[in-house]
């Protein structure tokens, strides 16, 4: 049985890194030490009834002081009532955290080069993965960051710091190449070679396109689904996703995912 923690923890720092984008550090070392890349936590603002339900957030990175793990970070975008309320918190405030939850990315032996494809705030879980692959597997990463504009392209410095090759696309052309991220992924096969694995997180349409590219190119692909959840551990059954090749059968993003082999689920999107 997986170990699970739930407690009110102190916010170490809370920084707006761009319009509507925040990084929040939480003093929760015991959770940070066991969380795997791709797992998530469910959070709630203590002593508030609105919003009533917890919200899911990927574990973005570990926080280290000296040689000691002291907590972890969340990376999020203000998109609704819960994140708007979170954005008003400050260092020293408390946040109710439950986790780590779900199944993270798998990193099989033998992989040497991977593509990491991040759409917008989908980059949150891929930073943690890139560092793990570098430190524990010696894997070379080519990272694709995409967004509507330059303001939506996050974490380039983190990837640069571990020596990853970073390619950027924006829909308005304000940073990097103008266009959609999947077009750049297609081109990279000719420039960077065929990867051993593709990892992706972002909007559903992007995940569908990346999965199709992986299938056409015969490359293994793992995707992290950004699915709405109410509980996080399989009770509410609100995060169902259709199982690939089995019409009428469903998996649940919170317990079977949020990371899936792209061949095992039906991804809706254009």
Same domain, 97 and 125: no
* Residue range of the domain that includes 19: 5-101
Which domain-ending residue is among 101, 133, 154? 101
Same domain, 55 and 164: no
Phi, psi of 194 (to 5 degrees): -75, 125
Which domain-ending residue is among 101, 132, 156? 101
End-to-end CA distance of the chain: 38
Same domain, 96 and 122: no
State how far the Cα of 253 lies from the Cα of 138, in Å rounded to an integer.
Answer: 29
Tell me the helices (H) and strands (E) count for the chain, helix number first: 6, 16
Whichever domain contains 76, its CATH number is 2.40.30.10
Flag whether 58 is in a domain: yes
Element (H, E) at 86: helix 81-86
Residue 86 token pair: 């979170």
Flag whether 106 is in a domain: no
Same domain, 131 and 220: yes
Same domain, 161 and 256: yes
What integer pLDDT is reported at residue 48 of this predicted model? 77
Using alpha carbons only, give the angle 15, 165, 262 rounded to the nearest 5 degrees: 85
What integer pLDDT is reported at residue 53 of this predicted model? 81
Strands 21-26 and 5-18: antiparallel
Same domain, 130 and 168: yes
Give the count of domains, the chain.
2
What integer pLDDT is reported at residue 240 of this predicted model? 87
Whichever domain contains 117, its CATH number is 3.40.50.80
Same domain, 160 and 228: yes
Same domain, 68 and 140: no
Flag whether 37 is in a domain: yes
Same domain, 95 and 167: no
Same domain, 117 and 235: yes
Which of 199, 86, 203 lies closest to 137, judged by CA?
199
Flag whether 91 is in a domain: yes
Same domain, 250 and 157: yes
Flag whether 270 is in a domain: no
Flag whether 107 is in a domain: no
State how far the Cα of 238 lies from the Cα of 25, in Å rounded to an integer.
Answer: 28
Phi, psi of 46 (to 5 degrees): -60, 145
Which domain-ending residue is among 101, 124, 156? 101
- Walking along the chain (270 residues) 10 residues at a time, the average pLDDT comes out as 89 96 98 96 86 89 94 96 94 97 93 96 95 90 96 96 96 96 95 95 95 97 88 78 87 92 84
């Amino acid at each position: 049985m997986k170990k699970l923690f739930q407690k009110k923890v102190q916010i170490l720092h809370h920084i707006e890194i761009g319009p509507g984008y925040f990084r929040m550090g939480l003093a929760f070392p015991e959770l940070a030490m066991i969380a795997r890349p791709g797992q998530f936590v469910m959070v709630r603002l203590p002593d508030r009834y609105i919003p009533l339900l917890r919200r899911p957030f990927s574990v973005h990175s570990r926080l280290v002081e000296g040689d000691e793990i002291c907590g972890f970070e969340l990376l999020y975008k203000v998109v609704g009532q819960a994140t708007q309320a979170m954005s008003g918190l400050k260092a020293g405030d408390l946040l109710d955290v439950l986790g780590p939850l779900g199944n993270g990315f798998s990193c099989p032996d033998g992989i040497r080069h991977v593509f990491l494809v991040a759409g917008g705030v989908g980059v949150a879980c891929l930073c943690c993965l890139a560092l793990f692959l570098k430190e524990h597997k010696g894997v070379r990463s080519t990272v694709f960051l995409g967004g509507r504009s330059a303001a939506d392209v996050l974490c380039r410095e983190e990837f640069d710091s571990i020596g990853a090759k970073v390619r950027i696309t924006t829909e308005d052309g304000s940073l990097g190449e103008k266009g959609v991220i999947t077009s750049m992924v297609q081109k990279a096969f000719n420039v960077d070679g065929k990867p051993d694995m593709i990892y992706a997180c972002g909007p559903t349409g992007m995940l569908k396109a990346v999965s199709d590219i992986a299938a056409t190119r015969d490359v293994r692909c793992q995707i992290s689904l950004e699915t709405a959840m109410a509980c996080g551990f399989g009770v509410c059954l609100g995060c169902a996703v259709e199982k690939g090749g089995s019409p009428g059968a469903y998996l649940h993003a919170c317990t079977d995912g949020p990371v899936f082999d792209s061949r095992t689920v039906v991804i809706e999107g254009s």
